A and B are shown apart, each in its own frame.
Chain A
Amino acid sequence: MKALLNYFTSLPSDILLADLSFTILAITIAYLLTTHSKWNWLWSWITSTDHKKIGIMYLLVSFLFFIRAGMEALLIRMQLAFPNNDFWVFQGDRFNQLTSTHGTVMIFLVATPLLIGLMNVIVPLQIGSRDVAFPFMNSLSLWLFISGGILLNVSFVAGGSPNAGWTSYAPLALNDYTPGPGNNYYPIGLQVAGLGTIMGGINFIVTILKMRAPGMRFMRMPLSTWAMFITSILIVYAFSALAVALLLLTFERLFGTVILSGGEGNPIIWQHLFWIFGHPEVYIIALPAFGIFSDVISTFSKRKLFGYPSMVFAIILIGFLGFMVWVHHMFTVGLNTNINIFFALTTMLIAVPTGIKVFNWLFTMRGGRIRFDTPMLYALGFIFTFVIGGVTGVMLSTVPADYQYHDSYFVVAHLHYVIIGATIFGVFSGVYYWWPKMFGKFLNEKLGKWNFWTFGIGFHFTFFPMHIMGLMGMPRRVFTYPEDEGLGFLNFISTFGAFMMGAGILFFIINIYLTTRYSKKLMLNDPWYSRGRTLEWTIPSPPPAYNFARLPEVKSREPLWDAYEKGYKNIDFIGEYEDIHMPNSTSLPFFIGIGFLIASFGFVFEIWTVAMLGMAMVFLLLGIRSFQQNNGIHIPKKTVMAEDRRSEE
């Protein structure tokens, strides 16, 4: 007992606080679940194979990670608010850990899964399907993501976080310079999460290729679906490259290879592999957002999307070019000039399809009867913000200029303009837009507008000054700066903006709480002023487990809108009522996730028995899965008919 007390008092205050708050949170949640006898309800979610529930769990978990990494951002900004500041314990190595985990969590555990979650809910509805192609694998993707996420988040209190930056460059990330378990978390945690993402990508590809409703040709698919299709292809290839990079780093740190070491090997290999993944990743998190904005802008402008074929073409072109630009992250490495020029050109080229998309969005709005609800506000905020981010992107692609911008706050500003501007704005837009579809309730508009304006204005306060800081020469990843550089004022504004963004997120949380608690269910298929255009608005909100009681027949790009134009209330469903086959719920993915978690801890701390035990558990469960004859359940025709009647009244 006394030893335990001694141990706790010896901990640094920040870790102690993290431990305490986590324990209190866990106990509170357990208490609430018990008093409301909700454990069974929780288990039914955990074992669910319903794509809508899985999507919602994706959204929830990645939102929790978003809050965590967001708090890290606030701590970073607090440390940087004044010159020569000494805030709490976040100097030196602690600060490095903060920036590293902030970046890693935000990219891998927030931006990517938030969009995957949203698309998990929406894509099957948009293509008129009753589920994804592989419900089991879908659940497995979720639990691998959560497993990898937990690992990266636990690192803070167990053994120290990764501290070599979110890019984890060799040789800094090798044993010689950063010994201990801290940096082991990075390759192993991401490997697990990345495996889940690859599975998710394959799942989406096959779903979109094979599960479309009758008549839904490729060129009739909604833009969100198109974007997710191309994104999934990028995921499959890019995350495989990442898997090898992470494997390499694991070998370097755990098994003593010398491929990345400065003396005997070549550290640039890591940079190549990382960015071969890293740049497509930018489009993996941007393209689905583009899709969401296309749907949102068209709905709220009450106009057909301008230039649909060119929008599709632009997405494909961006996806293709996305694989050929990665060296622009490495201009200052000292590669051959011709290589740099080639990649500068491909980078500038990518501005063309992106420009096409921006103009198409603007032309869609032209002459439309625009309603400025929160999803639309986010879409407009996106266009404004993303154009700024795009322009600085083209600036960065100019090789000689990049020698000046490289590793300065200018880059930090650029990447936040692009990623928050596209992904986070896109997710907010999509969540407000589809919230009624997911839960049958609107989010409050007034709070939504507060959310948008505080978050949006706070965003520009935070990141616009960073452009100037960068041009004044402030390097990224430093924990303080001298007083006489004239950076104090700009940094203070930036910190102020960060807290404003935090307030924006608080509005969002309050909004969710209040609407879930107090607002009434609306029984509408198409709650957005009956302006819906695509298939997801033809079914009840929230949709039944099987989505479509009868399968729709798609005759055009915007079936629902065309039905409205002809004076109908809904589209024609051509399918017959029938017994509907649905997959069983299963607990195996959850336990496979736990197996990976155990194994990963073994690898991180190099305790091989634990690692082998965890891997054995994973393989055992996969073996069990192989032997299962999973026939699923049938929802009888009668129930389906009864439910469908009720929803029509």
Chain B
Amino acid sequence: MKKVNKHQKEIRQLSLSFLLMIALTAIAFSLVLFQLISPPILIILLLVLALIQIIIQFDRFMDMREKEGYYRLTSLIGGSFVALLTIIFLILL
């Protein structure tokens, strides 16, 4: 009986994260469509929204918190570090 409850909880969590992602996307699109905020702040806001979505994906859908998540995080951080350096210096061109 207890087991079933746990599974129900998991389904609920998955659905909740999905709805949250859809909501975040909707916010991002409407911000741009209705031009509510001026560009420099808008861009930062959009990036923050994207970042939240990405964290939700990794955390909820991709099992980042399994044991040995430490290795996985290392891989991601390493990749992001190199990618970020590349992007920064390509923008500075």
Contact = CB atoms under 8 A, between A and B. Distances in A.
- Asked if A and B touch directly (CB within 8 angstroms), the answer is yes
Contacts of B90: 269, 272
Contacts of B93: 266, 268-269, 272
Nearest to A280: B82
Interface in A310-338: 323-324, 327, 335-336
Contacts of A336: 92
B92 A233 contact: no
A322 B90 CA distance: 18
Interface in A267-293: 268-269, 272-273, 276
A327 B82 contact: no
Nearest to A237: B82
A449 B20 CA distance: 70
A567 B78 CA distance: 45
A323 B92 contact: no
B82 A241 contact: yes
8 contacts: A209-B71, A233-B78, A237-B78, A238-B82, A269-B93, A276-B85, A335-B92, A336-B92
A273 B82 contact: no
Contact of B89 (A209, A236, A266, A272): A272
A237 B92 CA distance: 21
Interface hub of B79, B85, B89 (most chain A Cβ within 10 A): B89
- The main secondary structure of chain A at its interface with chain B is helix
Given A266-B93, A269-B93, A272-B89, A323 B71 contact: no
Interface in B4-60: none
Given A209-B71, A323-B81, A276 B86 contact: yes
A276 B82 contact: yes
Contacts of A391: none
A563 interface: no
A237 B79 contact: yes
Interface in A201-242: 209, 233, 236-238, 240-241
A272 B81 CA distance: 16
A300 B39 CA distance: 66
A240 B75 CA distance: 13
A273 B90 CA distance: 9
A167 B47 CA distance: 35
On chain A, which size bracket covers the interface?
10 to 19
A389 to B, nearest CB: 26
B89 A339 contact: yes
A324 B71 CA distance: 22
A241 B89 CA distance: 14
A272 B85 contact: no
A241 B86 contact: yes
A358 B74 CA distance: 29
Contacts of A269: 90, 93
A238 B85 CA distance: 12
Contacts of A273: 86
A519 to B, nearest CB: 45
Query: Which 5 pairs between the two chains have the least Cβ-Cβ distance?
Result: A237-B82, A276-B86, A323-B82, A268-B93, A272-B90
A241 B79 CA distance: 10
Contacts of A237: 78-79, 82
Contacts of A233: 78
A209 B81 CA distance: 21
A238 B92 CA distance: 20
A327 B81 contact: no
Given A209-B71, A268-B93, 20 more contacts: A233-B78, A237-B79, A237-B82, A238-B82, A241-B82, A241-B86, A266-B93, A269-B90, A269-B93, A272-B86, A272-B89, A272-B90, A272-B93, A273-B86, A323-B81, A324-B85, A335-B92, A336-B92, A339-B89, A339-B92
A276 B85 CA distance: 9
A194 to B, nearest CB: 15
Contacts of A268: 93
Nearest to A333: B93
Contacts of A266: 93
Interface in B64-93: 71, 78-79, 81-82, 85-86, 89-90, 92-93
Given A209-B71, A233-B78, A327 B86 contact: no
Contacts of B86: 241, 272-273, 276
Nearest to A266: B93
B74 to A, nearest CB: 9
A323 B89 contact: no
B82 to A, nearest CB: 5
B2 to A, nearest CB: 34
A236 to B, nearest CB: 8
Contacts of A276: 82, 85-86
Interface in A77-106: none
Contacts of B81: 323
Among A240, A269, A276, A327: residue with most chain B CB under 10 A: A276
A266 B89 CA distance: 13
A238 B90 CA distance: 16
B34 to A, nearest CB: 33
Contacts of A323: 81-82, 85
Contacts of B92: 335-336, 339
B89 A327 contact: yes
A472 B34 CA distance: 65
B92 to A, nearest CB: 7
Nearest to B86: A276
B76 to A, nearest CB: 11
Contacts of B82: 237-238, 241, 276, 323
A269 B91 CA distance: 10
Nearest to B79: A237
Contacts of A339: 89, 92
